[in-house]
Structure 1
Amino acid sequence: NLIENFRGTEAEADLNQPGAPGMWKPWFPVIDYDRCTNCMQCLSFCLFDVYGVDDEQQIQVQNNDNCKTNCPACSRVCPEVAIMFPKYGTGPIQGDEVDESDLNREKMKVDISSLLGGDIYSSLKNRSEQAKSRFSKERSPDKALAERKRCLTKLQQSGVIPAEVLAEIDLASLPSPEEIQRKAEEMAKLMGEE
């Protein structure tokens, strides 16, 4: 069974060298093809290009190194509970047996594109634009300069960075509020042109 195979591989692998060729990847999805209906929701939902299709148009994990640790979002949108993350803390996402309550909960899921108003890419772009406008309202050159000076003072007091290194940093050399404002305006102009 799939879970037993995973546990056997996990027990034999050197778990402390992720990224080294042939070493165990600590966070990755596993597709249970006995459950998968090839609906492609995981492919359309994943923002990290983890999934792809083979020559027969069957969904598969193609770029598991792109998968973000502790992000089982694709598993949560799978209507068949077919995507598992062996390192996840609870079932059925980590591979526990799927029971009737899990299936009933999954049946309530809706098509992701309809959930996001039709076009996921437009929704993401709009979200990004809204964030830009929100953050531009929060900019303050005076606050930025004061924050920078406060952080440098904390560093000096902490003793973590040698005093001779910090002595080389001249607070007077930090950008003035006018310079910070000018750079912020330049960035805003560049962002507006995109």
Structure 2
Amino acid sequence: MGKREAYISVDVEADGPIPGPYSMLSFGMSVCGTFDGVEFRPVDPAETTFYAELKPISDDYVPEALGISGLDRGRLAVEGREPGEAMSAAAGWVRAAAASADATAVLVAYPLGFDWMFLYWYWTRFTETGSPFGHSRHLDLKSMYATKAGTPISRSTKRQMPSELLSDRPHTHNALDDAVEQAELFHNLVRWAGPPRRPSEGFGE
């Protein structure tokens, strides 16, 4: 493994709450920077990206979930990539992106749980090599914000974040667009020192 970490912002669009009974319909990935333990070096998140739309793996879906993404299951059943092919290609892309930076890949998401659940399940289910992030190399931006802000998780939504942390890009629910937008949030969070607060406030006080 490299001495650096390469952070890859990832966003998933699915047709239900869990993988297996429901399907991951698309996902986008964006390289957003490296960290060597001392210095974080951001990169343009729109420069190195990966996007895939997948065939559904079951007949079940939640209509409200489809309404959010705007993806057409009928079209994806015909035009979408086979899950095994798409996940193998994505894993190869992650490993190549990390190798080019002599780094170890770390997945970044907001919030992490939903995106990681689908991606890890799909990599485990449909590929022989498994997850290119191992089973735990990931970073939750919601937890990162809550820790820096000294605020509960329940008050760590994007609507409650200072405006200077948010990307100027629109949140389109296209998985690649949202991965790039999320990468810019990550850049801003890394630079952010947190809000001014009294010594008695925050964790560990």
TM-score range normalised by the length of the shorter chain: under 0.3
Name the structure with the higher helix share.
1
Relative to the length of structure 2, the TM-score reads 0.24
Taking CA–CA contacts closer than 8 Å with sequence separation of 6 or more, which of the two structures ends up with the larger relative contact order? Answer: 2
Name the structure with the higher strand share.
2
